Structure 1
Amino acid sequence: MKSQMSHQPVTISTMKNIQISMSKSINNITIPATRIASFGRLMLLAGLSCLGSLSTKAQEVTPAASLLPAPNAALTPKWNRFSLGMKLTHLYDLKYTSYDLLSSGVSASDPYGLNGSKTKFDLAAGIDMSYYFTPLFSMDLGYEKGKMTGANKTEYYESNVSFITLGANLDLKRASRIEEYKWVPYLRASLAQGTYETERRFISDDVKFSDTKGNSMQVGVGLGVRYHINNRWCLNLMSEFVTINTDAWDGYDYGTGSDQMIKSSLGLKYTFGKEKHIDRALAWQDNRVDRMQARIDDQVNNAIKSINDSVDTKFKKLMNTPGSKDSDDDGIVDKFDKCPDVAGLFSNNGCPPVEEAVKAKEKEAEVDQTIAKIAPAPSASGSSHSGLSDEEKYRLKNEIMVEMNPIRFGYNSYQLTAKSYEQLNTIAVIMRNNNAYKLTLKGFTDDLGSADYNKKLSEMRANAVAEYLASRGITKDRISILAVGKENPLDDNNSKIGKANNRRVECKLQ
């Protein structure tokens, strides 16, 4: 029995080593931002869920830690989607057939627009409202009223017309584009209810010989382009080929049952809201892919945390007998802890990971070379401008090492990535070696979303960094947090790379 008990610490060490290895490996998986990797991590999440449930059944120390919903899911950036506009439309009556046979047996040419002095450049004025469902699809409802004219060789017509139109638009965007749009071409289909009051007259003496009125359904297809001046104002140029389901539109029904026209419009739209216009977004960037990416990242990280917490709880229960003291709360009682005042790992006898110090030394050597170039040692004469003292160099070196690399974050996320840990571990080493130092963490975001939303997100990012540093032995009273939000961007927010650079936490020594 004693022999078996003596092997207990080896089992615990193995558990901790497995835990550390799993955490590092999984964190490395979360770095790629490709969409394909998202589905791979989704499969990984299912495996972690099973592993988490098995480990929880094996120990009854704490209740099963279910995978929590992504903390970021409720923090969804908004888009400007609804707009009102006004437009001016040119109405051109097309010549539907060469000749139509009248009931009397006489043939006559179908009147058409811009055909002689009796016709005009016909215009209609209108208003519309639009709603953009995704970066690719929108619908609009509009009303227009105006006049139309047309003529053949012997007669002409004048008609008061109006339209109520429901349109659907599909944007033509390239999947490979990475910059926001200003010019957005699109395809269009529409269904309209039109009314007309038409008079027909002879060209020779302007005598009216016929009048009619009615309404008809119209179907249109066309092309358009929108130019976004900014996120609120845009110009809209569009042209449609319209088929009318009556031949009486021009005042006389030849019996063909339909007529045709072209409607070309120029409009100005105002979009409500303070956010980015969704029509300027990339073809795939309607937040669904990015939100799914963020949810998968959060769920994987929550699964890792659940497993880590379970192992830690079991570990503490086995190692900490009642009355034992664990000063740094790292799960290793002081009598077994070679670094009792600093949180560390079981695999390193309770001290911080060896690689932290090694990486810090490597960075320190690089910074020393930089300082040697920009700040040579003081001259023998002691001139104040000849260089920096050793103490000043030491302080400068630490400031550079802390501030040189901001901590980056994924879209709409405050989860730390594995790439951040190296820089944070370096900062932790510096802070542990200099108890007088204090640290300010400034959280930033890109410009997607409201100011209040981004303030909250930037604070959560800074808190995530502070929590990690606290786990490396840096007390929270030495850390201050400032939530900046989307103000003071480091890079241009008009590109995806620029947005990624702005999603950061800056660390500054005080």
Structure 2
Amino acid sequence: MHQLSSTLRRLLPGAVLLVAGLAANPAYAQTPDRKTAIGANISILQYQGNLGGDFGKLFAPEQVGVGAHITRYISPSFDLSLLGNYENYRFVAASAPRNEFTSKTAMFDLGLKLKLNNGHILKEDAFIQPYLMGGGGFFVANSVGNYLRFNEDQSVVPGRFSNQVRRPEIFGQAGLRFRLSPAVFLDITTAQHYAFTNDGIDIDNSPTGKYFDRFLVHSAGLTVALGKAKDADGDGVPDRKDKCPDTPTGVKVDATGCPIDTDGDGVADYQDKCPDVKGLAALQGCPDADSDGVADADDKCPDTPAGVRVDASGCPLDSDGDKVPDNLDKCPDTPAGVQVDANGCPLDRDGDGVPDSQDKCPDRAGPASNKGCPEIPAETPKYINFDFNRATLKSNSTSKLSQMAQIMNDYPDYSLSIAGHTDSKGSDDYNLRLSYERAASARKYLLDKGIPADRIEARGYGETKPVGSNATAAGRALNRRVDFDPYLTGETNAAEAKYGAAPTISEIQTAGKKLPGKKTTGTGASRRRKSSMKKAPARKK
């Protein structure tokens, strides 16, 4: 008994210090966040074998040992443990013959633990946490002893043995864990170990041939988990359980890690200007009786009808300044300065659905896709052609020009772009001037029909914009042309958008200059000369 008291006195101070230190720091507890645990225990060994046994005998000094374990969390239901136990054991038979032996025994095992506090049977943080464990390992013993054996004549034959055991074993264990704090656990266990011994190598040197060595190990000890739970926002709730992992530092939270919301309005107390009264998130948790977006405490018109827009003081406003209050204004976002009707909507004189402020033709109806202007008919002439080296109008072109003049009269919001072109025969300068002359002839026709000069822009592009192949007569005939492109006055010139910039005839005349390129009036000999001087292709042999 003295040995037991001495052992307990040596272990008790360390255990007290361990409990005190860890209880002050609840950051430790074996959970999915802190998966490794260590433990130490005092144990009692009981033997049952060929020389007898002491099952049922407790707290004898010769039975006391020590143990330790390392445990790894696998899942809510299972842990994996590496266990060790050492005993300096002495056995004395209770009856004759007085067999006895002493043994230094050690057991090293790997066990799988089934936990009942897995969240299905008991809560994970239950105070009492039962578990079962099973596994196997290795049994080691060095034993020496004396035995007395009766002969047939009842004489006693003394004997002595010295034996070493190195054998595999299996074990089963039942345990109760007590959660002393979030940091410390007390484990009380009972395990039975069975070593696979045989003749000559069992702990008691039995000659019977029975595989009979069995051991009970009872233990009590402390277990502590290592590591630290991840708690990104430092609110005391591990990230694994934290439904609000980004809570600002210092904010009080509930068990799920979310900020406390006393009035239950969805606005956390630390953000709620009215934490004791249900309110709106948009108003930092304060109520708004007339739902106008202004908190009751700041509302100068707290009875504004629902849906009426208000200013910062909570009173109806006229946000676009059109003299029609927003609650009556069907178009409350009318731009400043735009004339409106009684409903507060922009005027639309021609009723085409395009407000006058955006309508290029406010007095003539047209689709919004054409900026409120009427669309020119699709059959509008697109071009007229010219004879080779000529700028005079062909007889069959006048009908198209007359049609174009009528369109320009019918659609006064449009201007007309005229672009002259040539084929590739002749010099570049010559063809450039010829293209201007062709555009000028068409322009003059329209001017003579009464179309104002400021609605007609004419220019030439020479031979640079063909629509057909200049390698064929048919293609060159197509290229000798003037294009017509009507466009809304004030918009980008259609020919310039299509072919690029070129000076107009009006600009050239205003500047007092001559049309660009060589003079083309006359016989056109230079253009014919250039054509005739082209080298004839070599004949195939």
What TM-score results when the alignment is normalised by the length of structure 1?
Answer: 0.38
Kindly indicate which of the two structures has a greater share of residues assigned to helix: 1
Structure of greater Rg: 2
Kindly indicate whether structure 1 or structure 2 has the higher relative contact order, using CA contacts under 8 Å at least 6 residues apart: 1
